[in-house]
Amino acid sequence: MNRQNKSRIESFAKSGYVAKGMVYILVGVLTAMFAFGIGGEKASNTDALYQVKEFPGGSLLLGILATGLAGYALWRLTQAIKDTENKGTDAKGIGRRLAYAFSGLLYGSLAFLAFKIGLGNETSSGGSGSREKSVLSELLDHQYGKWVAIAIGLITIGNGLNQLRKAITSSFLKDVKGLPRDRFNFLKKAGQAGFAARGVVFCIIGFLFVRAAWRQNPQGAEGTEGAFTFLQTSPFGNVLLAIVAIGLVGYGIFMFVQAKYSDISID
């Protein structure tokens, strides 16, 4: 890969972190407002994009967001294919690189959706967790689909636990260099809150997916909104929902930090 293409991918990666951060901040703010009873909604990434459409110049903003998200998707796929972090080809390394590839495809689809919403070619599908329900329904139509679905749910829970591990150990800080001393503690706390909040959401989504698969009930599968509802209907639900939502804002802030201070390079 020549130097010009490397520079482009590195620029795409940084813009991608910014776009991802903006989406998480929107999700967190909208959900926190709902938890505090001052408007908002229990929002997924998709809901956040529809909300941007309502802003002045929303279509232009969506175009910018879509470009950034596409850049993030390209960076994740590059990490998977080029092994930019030297994860290797053992089972652990391949697993990590597959996770990067999955993330790239996920954010690529989100970028495509943002373009479509911006052009007015997509209306809200409604229905919490419609994608998860559709996936589970398709899996349950196959002979071993139930067990595949349970495996997917357990992997999602594992991802959530990994996010919680990062929050507890602050291992995410190894991905950034040269954080300003006067803001180090704040940025560290924002990252810890963010990774912890993501971990909670992923664990709940995984649990709901496993439970729905075991019961062979696709309607029980849920996405982010369903995870928020699960929290809200728990004891001290609105408090828990607000804490997680504010944590997601922290994650968005840390994505801005990664955009500025990450060592993004391609050998």
193 within domain boundaries = yes
pLDDT score at 171: 92
50 within domain boundaries = yes
10 within domain boundaries = yes
Look up the domain containing 176 and give its range.
3-261
**pLDDT tens-digit series, residues 198-226:** 999 999 999 999 999 999 999 998 888 89
Could you give the percent of the chain with pLDDT greater than 70? 93
226 within domain boundaries = yes
**pLDDT tens-digit series, residues 114-131:** 888 888 776 665 556 678
135 within domain boundaries = yes
202 within domain boundaries = yes
Q: How many domains does the chain have?
A: 1
What is the average per-residue pLDDT within 239-266? 89
Please, are residues 114 and 69 in contact by the beta-carbon 8 Å criterion? yes
Model pTM score: 0.87
266 within domain boundaries = no
65 within domain boundaries = yes
pLDDT bin (cut points 50, 70, 90) of residue 2 is low
